[in-house]
Amino acid sequence: MISVYILIAILITHLIGDFVVQGHIQAAEKWHDNVKLTNHVISYTITLMMGVWLSFGIAIAFPWLGYKVAEPVTTTVVIVCVWAIINGVLHWITDYITSKHVHRLKEAGPFRRTKYKDMMIVIGLDQVIHIIILVLTWRYLPMQELVSSYLLTAKMYIFLSP
The string of pLDDT tens digits covering residues 33-90 is 999 999 999 999 999 998 887 776 666 556 555 554 334 555 567 778 888 999 999 9
For residue 30, give its domain range.
Answer: 4-160
What sections of 34-112 are H helices per DSSP? Answer: 34-61, 73-107
Count of the separate structural domains present in the chain = 1
Q: Give the other-Cβ count within 10 Å of 150's Cβ.
A: 27
Cα–Cα dist 118/110, whole Å: 14
Q: Give the other-Cβ count within 10 Å of 155's Cβ.
A: 14
Cα–Cα dist 109/31, whole Å: 18
In angstroms, the first-to-last Cα distance of the chain is: 36
Give the pLDDT mean for 103-116: 74
Q: Would you say 133 and 62 are in contact if contact means Cβ atoms under 8 Å apart?
A: no
Instruction: Give me the count of residues in the chain.
Output: 162
Question: Residue 159: its pLDDT value, please?
Answer: 44
Mean pLDDT for the chain overall: 80
The H-or-E segment that residue 113 falls in is helix 113-140
Instruction: Report CA 104 to chain centroid distance, whole Å.
Output: 26
Q: Give the other-Cβ count within 10 Å of 65's Cβ.
A: 15
